[in-house]
Amino acid sequence: MEAISWAPLVLALFSILIIRTIAIGRRLHKGRTLPPGPRPLPIIGNLHQVFDGMPHRCLARLAEKYGPIMTLRFGQTTTVVISSPDMAREVLQKHDQAFSYRAIPDAIRALRHGDLSVAWLPPNPEWRNLRMIYNTELFSTKRLESTKVVRAQQVRELISYVSECCLSRKTLNIGELVSVTILNVLSRTIFSVDLSDLRSESSLEVVQLVQTIMKGTSEPNLADFFPWLKVLDPLGVRRRVTKSMKKLHDIFDEHVDRRLRGEDATPHDDLLDRLPHGDKMECMHDRFIRNAFFTELFIAGTETSANTVEWTMAELLRNPVMMAKVKEEIERMIEPGKEVEESDIEKLHYLQAVMKESFRLHPTAAFLLPRRAERTVDVGDHYVVPEGTRVVINNWVISRDKRVWEDPEVFSPERFLKKDIDIRGREFELMPFGSGRRICAGLQLAVRMVPLIIASLLRGFDWQLPEGMGPEDIDMRETQGIPVAMAVPLRAVPLAA
Ligand code: HEM
């Protein structure tokens, strides 16, 4: 009888002890606590709250309740999620150095990619050297000027193919078409060869390899949440990525070896021709570093850019008035019979506003690449982010912040005619390319190439949706993973303008 009456008291004391332990655990640093967040379940933590839909949307809903900086447990790992422009400024500007490290997904470790590539290296001398190759050998203003003939040639190819399809009223998969064009721009810049062909389905292999790697490295993977599972690779994600990467490396080796054997003596002025020159290019003599660099160019550059074109075309097809306005501007600003050139883009103000609005509403990098706190950092007035924590920046919700954007869910390029916002990482309410020292290394190429492709596709053709489909039938749902693509690929029929 006595034992029974003591039971509630013991239980209450025990509960108080557990609550105190949790509270002390959260109060980590000089009276600061971990940011708030939903209560985690045993073992899985908060995984069930994020992976029952689109992670960027699930995290946006949680941020409404827990605020612009929140903590979640995914399995055994702690993640801090940033969901407002002000908090993004804290992380990406005020504490840029401490948060410039990456949390590397297990699949990225395939063929040591995570240890060798720009996107995943810590900000060390190797990373600086590789970024320098991007900045000087590939995407400096001078280099981009000298390679603009390559992009013009590929866009001409694209337009010539679309013209052929006009005659047969063929329905085209816009994303696929643009992926091939961008892939060839990149392969011409590196090796002076086309790795794919718009006219042959069998030549889509490289596009598919790139897509498989992209998907594998951004899909949820148990090994990332339970690090002890890494050796087992239980979902086989790293194995799949390794297989595709290996195939890509073999293709790269073939082209490099051919050049090294001197089988192709024509001077090309491509990246391969410059391999033997300069100290910073010395690292490229290592086969693994070279192949990781080339792989990264394709995986970082192809789908991100192609998806942006696809989302923009989808929005314009849904909004015929805006489509007419862009076309009218292009006709007015560019001489009849002349191709659109990169230098024309700065004159096309409405097109630029459309691009910004597309980046805002459909940031293909819904999350910036994951960061990691290199040391324990105090963030804002109350919180602490402990060393080693994964930091995720929800770009998707930041560019829909109601406090910054009027009617954030509405596609309205006009907002950018009134409000001049830069998209190169200086403004935290719109940063499709990220910000800080880890900002996108291909930004300079993307801001030339993406609008050039869109303007060229609109210049020559009127676009119609497939038979029986109206603008309201375009499915705007997204795929999971990064980059975010349209779940149902956009299809449209070109007609001679
Ligand atoms: C519309 C096209 C593109 C978009 C929206 C985009 C977006 C991004 C974003 C959001 C990041 C992460 C930045 C951060 O963590 O703060 C990134 C990183 C990166 N991007 Fe892009 N990107 C695009 C095109 C390209 C192209 C064409 C290339 C190269 C061919 C490229 C190469 C890279 C690389 C190497 C990084 C890693 C940089 C580092 O960690 O130091 N991107 N990109």
Q: Whose CA is nearest to atom 37 of ligand 1?
A: 119
pLDDT at 461: 95
Pocket lined around ligand 1, Cβ cut-off 6 Å: 118-119, 131, 296-297, 300-301, 304-305, 308, 364-365, 368-369, 432-435, 438-442, 445-446, 450
Q: What are phi and psi of 82, to 5 degrees?
A: -105, 130
Which residue out of 304, 438, 452 has the highest number of ligand 1 atoms within 8 Å of its CB and is therefore the one to mutate? 304
21: helix, strand or coil: helix
CA of 302 to the centre of ligand 1 (A): 10
> Whose C-alpha lies nearest to ligand 1, atom 11?
440
Measured in angstroms, how far is the CA atom of residue 299 from the centroid of ligand 1?
A: 10
pLDDT tops 70 at residue 220? yes
Which one has a higher pLDDT value, 380 or 443? 443
At 415 the pLDDT is: 96
The pLDDT assigned to 17 comes to 42
Number of domains in the chain: 1
Ligand 1 mutation target, pool 130, 440, 443, 453, most atoms within 8 A of CB: 440
pLDDT grade for 24, boundaries at 50, 70 and 90: very low
What number is the average pLDDT over the span 416-431? 93
Mean pLDDT of the chain: 91
77 is in which domain, residue-wise?
2-496
pLDDT at 280: 75
pLDDT value for 205: 86
Using the mean position of ligand 1's atoms as its centre, give its distance from the Cα of residue 369 in Å: 9
Sequence letter at residue 171: T
Residue 460 pLDDT greater than 80, yes or no:
yes
Question: 381 or 372: which carries more pLDDT confidence?
Answer: 372
Cα dist. 435→70, 84, 408, 426, 488 in Å?
20, 14, 21, 7, 30
Instruction: Tell me the pLDDT tens digit for each residue of 52-93.
Output: 779 999 999 999 999 999 999 999 999 999 999 999 999 999
Provide the CATH number for the domain around residue 413: 1.10.630.10
pLDDT tops 70 at residue 7:
no
Residue 1 has pLDDT above 50, yes or no: no
pLDDT value, residue 218: 86
Q: How many CB atoms lie within 10 A of CB 325?
A: 18
Q: What are the backbone angles phi and psi of residue 367, rounded to the nearest 5°?
A: -115, 140
Whose alpha carbon is nearest atom 32 of ligand 1? 442
Please tell me the distance between residue 265's alpha carbon and the centre of ligand 1 in angstroms. Answer: 33
SS3 category, 476: coil
312-341 average pLDDT score = 96
